Amino acid sequence: MVTPIMDRKKTVIHAGVLIDSIAPTAIRDQLIFVENGIITQISSINGVLLESIKSGYDFYDFSKYTVMSGLIDAHIHFFGVPSTKLDELMTAPEAFRSLRAAREAKEMLYAGITAARCCGSSISPSLKRAIDLGILEGPRLVVAGQFVCASNGTWDHIKVPVQAMREAGMLADGPDQLRQKVRERIREGAGLIKIGLSVGAVGDEYHAWGDDPEKSVTSYSLDEIRAATDEAHKNRIKVSAHCIGNESVLNAIETNVDTIEHGYPIDDKTRSILAERKIIVTSTAAQLYCHNASADEFSYSDGEKKLFAIHENSMRNNFEQGLKFGIKYALGSDLIGPPTHPQTLFYKEFEIVNNWGMSNMEAIIAGTRISAEALGLDDLIGSVEKGKIADLIVLGSNPLEKIQALKNVIFVMKSGNIVRNDVSNDKGSIK
Ligand SMILES: [Zn+2]
């Protein structure tokens, strides 16, 4: 069924608990008015004649539940291949990969993820287009299209012939090629550029991230990165950079990169600059969690197990330090799909950062309002406010009490349209 792009009905939602991603605490018993997909008013239930509202509007009684902004994953990938068979990125037909990704996008939306940023995937511009046109159900997407990296850079799979990598279209060397690559991406439908600024040391097995994150090296000159950011910014789109290691993060800062992905390990001086300039760093913890959780079932080698443990340890230490310095984090899971990394596990990102020192409210704000800023959509989504698009979720329990409540999504609204409703409206109980 094709979803209408705009809901023309008037809807009122009674939120027993409202977390609006602006106020420092939850607000009790609020009415959220939605017209044509936009939040037109939020008011306290006191003094409002509920009966008159019920006659003029579609009324949803969530007085027993928590209402908040839809979750926004600031870093995912739609590869459309099993996460355990990434070699299929080179062999599976794009059409088949797209069909698999379409299903993943729908599942994300039903899990309460109403917006996401795809930080690298050749199929994501078409997926975004199909969702925007209402052909497919899925989150509101900002997409990078294919990665951009140097020869021997972040995603240059050095175990396949270089000609095959060139055909994949991600390699760009020298300022001129970078400028051209950004123009090609925009032509293909990208609304974001994803660039790789670091790579493992020479001889490392784990090429993209490095066997030891402390020893990762940079893969682009400042002039090359600057050509990409300049060209992207001329077109008013953002640049997101994969950075493992202090030097690559400093290079990103120096060249006006908009968001830093991963961003560890770094030193205190770099932390101070990131915090002072309020540059967004995306958390990306769930993907390492999923690797560690899958290692036995999917027979990871001892080398892989060691590698992911080293990275998780480094990421955690850096995140904890980053919080002390006041670094601005958006939540992004870096999940790529089943069987080991289903994108529906974004709620794990909240659990992990909560475990690493963020309060429940800070985590919720990071994974809604700050993530919306990473997407460049903070004037439209990411908080429950008058004038924002009605991308809302309802939870069976309060995530300020227990962050795991984010897993318990019972209602999803996107652009004012009801995507999922597990609540029996006459009784207000979960079906
Ligand atoms: Zn990623």
Give per-residue pLDDT as tens, 233-271: 999 999 999 999 999 999 999 999 999 999 999 999 999
Rounded distance from Cα 117 to ligand 1 centre (Å): 10
Question: Which residues are within 8 A (CB) of 88 and not within 5 positions of it... i.e. 6 or more apart?
Answer: 81, 82, 97
Q: Which tens digit of pLDDT belongs to each residue from 350-376?
A: 999 999 999 999 999 999 999 999 999
Ligand 1 geometric centre to CA of 357 (Å): 23
In a domain, 4, yes or no: no
Q: Calculate how far, in angstroms, residue 374's C-alpha sits from the geometric centre of ligand 1.
A: 14
**Ligand 1 centre distance from Cα of residue 89 (Å):** 15
Cα separation, 137 vs 196, in Å, equals 30
Residues 188 and 293 in one domain: yes
Asked whether residue 408 falls in the same domain as residue 353, the answer is: no
Side-chain half-sphere of 63: how many Cα atoms within 13 Å? 10
Same-domain check for residues 213 and 64? no
CA of 74 to the centre of ligand 1 (A): 10
CATH code of the domain containing 106:
3.20.20.140
State the residue range of the domain holding 19: 10-70+382-430
CA of 412 relative to ligand 1 center, distance in Å = 26
pLDDT computed for residue 47 by the predictor: 64
287 CA → ligand 1 middle, Å: 9
b/e sequence 310-332, b meaning 16+ C-beta within 10 Å: bbbebbbebbebbbeeebbbbbb
Domain boundary among 338, 355, 375: 375
Supply the pLDDT for residue 404: 98
- The answer as to whether 423 is a domain residue is yes
* Residue that terminates a domain, selected from 354, 375, 396: 375
Q: Of 254, 268, 276, 274, which Cα lies nearest the Cα of 197?
A: 254
H/E element holding 12? strand 10-19
2 in any annotated domain: no
Same domain, 258 and 324: yes
Query: Rounded to an integer, what distance in angstroms lies between the CA atom of residue 414 and that of residue 37?
Result: 8
The structural domain count of the chain equals 2
**pLDDT exceeds cutoff 90 at 428:** no
| pLDDT, position 55 | 74
Which of 340, 357, 375 delimits the end of a domain? 375
Question: Does residue 76 form part of some domain?
Answer: yes
How far is ligand 1, taken at its centre, from the CA of residue 118, in Å? 8
Does residue 221 share a domain with residue 234? yes
Residues 177 and 132 in one domain: yes
Measured in Å, residue 409 CA sits from the centre of ligand 1 at 25
Considering the domain boundaries, does residue 98 fall inside one?
A: yes
Q: What is the pLDDT of residue 173?
A: 98
List the one residue out of 60, 36, 65 whose CA is nearest residue 50.
60
Q: How many CA atoms lie within 13 A of 308 on its CB side?
A: 18
Shared domain check, 271 and 251: yes
Q: How far is the CA of 76 from the centre of ligand 1 (A)?
A: 6
Cα(124) to ligand 1 centroid in Å equals 13
Q: What is the distance between the alpha carbons of residues 206 and 303, in angstroms, rounded to a whole number?
A: 10
Whether residues 205 and 299 fall in one domain: yes
Indicate whether 113 pLDDT > 60.
Answer: yes
Averaged pLDDT, 151-164: 92
pTM: 0.96
Q: Where are the beta strands (DSSP E) in 112-270?
A: 113-118, 140-143, 192-196, 198-199, 217-218, 238-244, 259-264
pLDDT score at 286: 98
Q: How far is the CA of 262 from the centre of ligand 1 (A)?
A: 9
Identify whether 3 is part of a domain: no
For residue 1, pLDDT beyond 60 = no
Does the pLDDT value for residue 106 go beyond 60? yes
Task: Report CA(54)–ligand 1 centroid distance (Å).
Answer: 45
Q: By the 8 A CB rule, do 410 and 394 touch? A: yes
Tell whether 141 and 275 lie within a shared domain. Answer: yes
> Residue 15 is encoded by which pair of tokens?
């939120």
pLDDT tens, position by position, 369-424: 999 999 999 999 999 999 999 999 999 999 999 999 999 999 999 999 999 999 98
Give the mean model confidence (pLDDT) for residues 12-19: 96
Same domain for 391 and 297, yes or no, is no
For ligand 1, the distance from its centroid to the CA atom of residue 312, given in whole angstroms, is 15
Average pLDDT over residues 49-64: 83
71-76 and 113-118: which strand pairing? parallel
Let me know whether 44 and 162 are in one domain.
no
Whole-number Å distance, alpha carbon 338 to ligand 1 midpoint, is 15
Question: Residue 419 belongs to a domain with what CATH number?
Answer: 2.30.40.10
The per-residue pLDDT for range 194-233, each reduced to its tens digit, is: 999 999 999 998 889 999 999 999 999 999 999 999 999 9
**418 C-alpha vs ligand 1 centroid, how far in Å?**
30
Residue of 277, 312, 275 whose CA lies nearest to 292: 312
Alpha-carbon dihedral sign for residues 136, 86, 334, 352? positive
61 lies in the same domain as 165: no
* Calpha distance 428→60 (Å, rounded): 8
Rounded to the nearest integer, the mean pLDDT of the chain is 95
- Domain annotation covers residue 5: no
1 falls within a domain? no
Q: At what angle do helices 174-188 and 222-234 cross, to 10 degrees?
A: 30
Per-residue confidence (pLDDT) for residue 48, from 0 to 100: 67
